[in-house]
Amino acid sequence: MKKYLLVLMAAAVLAGCASNDIEDMPRDARIKFANMEGYSNNPYPQAKMLGEVMGMSCARRGGSSMMVTEIGGNIFATSSGPDVANGAEALQDMRYKAAVMGGDAVVNAVCKSGSVDWGHNCWSTVKCVGDVVSK
């Protein structure tokens, strides 16, 4: 029993370390990702449902800062604005995961802006959820 628990814990740790980098993506999944469609409705009611997928955009910096520099008598102000979670990034993350699952489209997709998500170390989030289908 102890052995199975250790295997399960190792699998959970490895899954947590998995990346969403396109350079790690298999060729067939990359092709699906490039052609992945997303819909808020379901134009493919006869398609095979592969499962549910969630994509997220995470803002990790809370505030903004201003840096003033003087070079040769000239003053330059550089502002670094807050990191902003956005829907486009959340949708792309969802499409990526759907392509890895072997899907052709994401249907019934909805997105919601959120606030602090301590589990993901985010000051603000946008999360999208949808159903992955194979046409």
DSSP states along 76-111? EEEEEPPP---HHHHHHHHHHHHHHTT-SEEEEEEE
Q: What is the pLDDT of residues 95-120, one digit of tens each?
A: 999 999 999 999 999 999 887 888 88
Q: Which domains does the chain have, with CATH numbers?
A: 38-134 (3.30.110.70)
Task: Show Cβ contacts of residue 99 under 8 Å, excluding neighbours closer than 6 positions.
Answer: 25, 29, 30, 32, 33, 36
Confidence of residue 10 (pLDDT cuts 50, 70, 90): very low
Beta strand pairing call for 105-114 and 37-38 = parallel
Residue 84 or 42, more confident = 42
Q: What is the pLDDT of residues 17-73, one digit of tens each?
A: 345 677 888 899 999 999 999 999 999 999 999 999 999 998 877 554 445 555 665
